Amino acid sequence: MNRKLLMGHPSGLFVLFFTEMWERFSYYGMRAILVLFLTRSILEGGWEWSREDALSLYGTYTMLVYFSPIIGGFLADRFFGYRKAVALGAFIMTLGHAAMALDTPFGLYAGIGLLVAGNGLFKPNITSIISGIYKNAQDKKDGAFTIFYMGVNAGAFLGILLCGYIGETVGWHYGFGLAGIFMFFGMLQFWFAQGIFGNLGLSPAKTKALQETDIKEEVTEEVKEEVVPAKVQRDRYIVVGILAFFTVFFWAAFEQAGGSMTIFAADYTDRVLEGNSALAFRIANTLLTVVPLAIITYVLFKLFQITFKKYALSNIFLGTSFAIIWGIVIWKLYVEFSNDVAEIPASWFSILNSFYIIAFAPLVSKIWESKFNPPASVKFGIGLVLLGLGFGVLAYGSTNIPQGAQTASVSIIWLILAYLLHTLGELSLSPVGLSYVSKLVPAAKIGLMFGLWYIAVGLGNKAAGEMGGMIDKITAAYDMTTFFLIFTIVPVTAGLIVMGLTPMMKKLMHGVR
């Protein structure tokens, strides 16, 4: 395995960073426009579904996306190995996005099916490779997963920004197709750089063959693991179960971002700006777009310096994808500055989550590596409380919306503040959850347990779709403030409870920190 360091971490982490970045580009790019496409009128190029039906499909899709990793983790552990599973999953997802680019019901459902299947192979196994890289550096795991999570959100940022813009302004299915193009690039750059992982992530058969022929120094080191008494391991599984339980509450509220919050942005927010307001937005949006992309491009350049000589083809595919991205971004900004009035796309607000993560992830990573690093349960509690407070902001901002209203024009500031609080909550909980699963679970069960973890996330996503689909019923019977207050009270209560469990959970971890 390549041991040269980038930002204090092995360069292999950044190959995974960019692979995951393009997968998240495709996922979040499609997710950003799915509900909008389904609910818009025929004249607007949509299919004119009801909000309830669209959010139900959204919830089912996102649930299955997180259920499928249990199968993908099992297949990788038993047959494929992590590396082949990641590459095959990326290829299947590319086909899924291509199907969704067709303007037909068959293309929609076939595409969703392929995306679910491909994600099942991809999602748990790329995180399993990271776990293997840091097997002998447990203290660096929280920081590594937070950096990796920055890659996740870099992809989400670009996917929502570009697929959302093209979907809303050029055509919905062009947005779906663009997502597939970069999924394909992600697959190619991973496939041609996988040698950087040495013997890590090979199929069980190849790993066994290497051991039997004595080409095994690194492999044996990686598959060895400490023998843990049964009672201790049982207690650690209980901790994973408790964290997974509270994870459901988090995602049931957080995933309103792709559902009811997107509807709120589209139909209840004043998105048309003129004069100085339009100019200020264009300048801020340019900085918001160019600065993160420049930072990510810099990371790409540093990776090239380390890996280009040995993995030139992978680097060429990665560099080409970034050249295309820069071209689309420059064209987009040119078009926006050519118009007198600035109309903010409804999908644009979702990029705030990703932007805030890119901005704050390095800081949070350093905090988790410092003496101020709190226990897992406290991190989870902080995440849930911050999430609830974000919905409290939306509840306050909605106080002037009349009962049962289908449209309104509230200030964009409420969504901007809500996404900030949601993001800080996500950084406190999501990457930390992945890290603790990898610490508490035996290496031989990592793929399977990541799959089980994603089932909890999937349950939260389905609950998000079903609860978000009640927006019309709740606002008709009560008001929009009541709708958002539900998502305020539940996460805050859950957060306080999980923080109260800290002494018990520390005992059950048996020394894992």
Answer for the pair 265, 474: CB distance below 8 angstroms, yes or no: no
Answer for the pair 492, 384: CB distance below 8 angstroms, yes or no: yes
Answer for the pair 436, 240: CB distance below 8 angstroms, yes or no: yes
Q: Is 34 helix (H, G, I), strand (E, B) or coil?
A: helix
Per-residue model confidence as pLDDT tens digits over 80-98 = 999 999 999 999 999 999 9
Domain assignment present for 1: no
Answer for the pair 209, 109: CB distance below 8 angstroms, yes or no: no
Q: How far is CA 383 from the centre of its chain?
A: 16
**Angle subtended at Cα 348 by Cα 347 and Cα 353, rounded to the nearest 5 degrees:** 100
- The DSSP result for 327-352, as a single string, is HHHHHHHHHHHH-SSEE--GGGGGHH
Q: Running DSSP on this structure, what letter comes out for residue 282?
A: H
Instruction: Give this prediction's pTM.
Output: 0.85
Domain assignment present for 73: yes
Domain assignment present for 5: no
Domain assignment present for 4: no
Distance CA 269, CA 267 (A): 6
pLDDT value at 250 more than 80: yes
Confidence of residue 294 (pLDDT cuts 50, 70, 90): very high
* Domain extent for 364: 11-509
**Residues 6 or more apart whose Cβ sits within 8 Å of residue 334:** none
Domain assignment present for 372: yes
Domain assignment present for 105: yes
Range from 101-115, 247-261, 339-353, 355-369 carrying the lowest mean pLDDT:
355-369
Domain assignment present for 113: yes
Per-residue model confidence as pLDDT tens digits over 150-160 = 888 789 999 99
Per-residue model confidence as pLDDT tens digits over 385-400 = 999 999 999 999 999 9
pLDDT at 454: 80
For residue 55, give the CATH number of its domain.
1.20.1250.20
Q: Is 6 helix (H, G, I), strand (E, B) or coil?
A: strand
Total domain count, the chain: 1
Domain assignment present for 17: yes
pLDDT at 3: 61
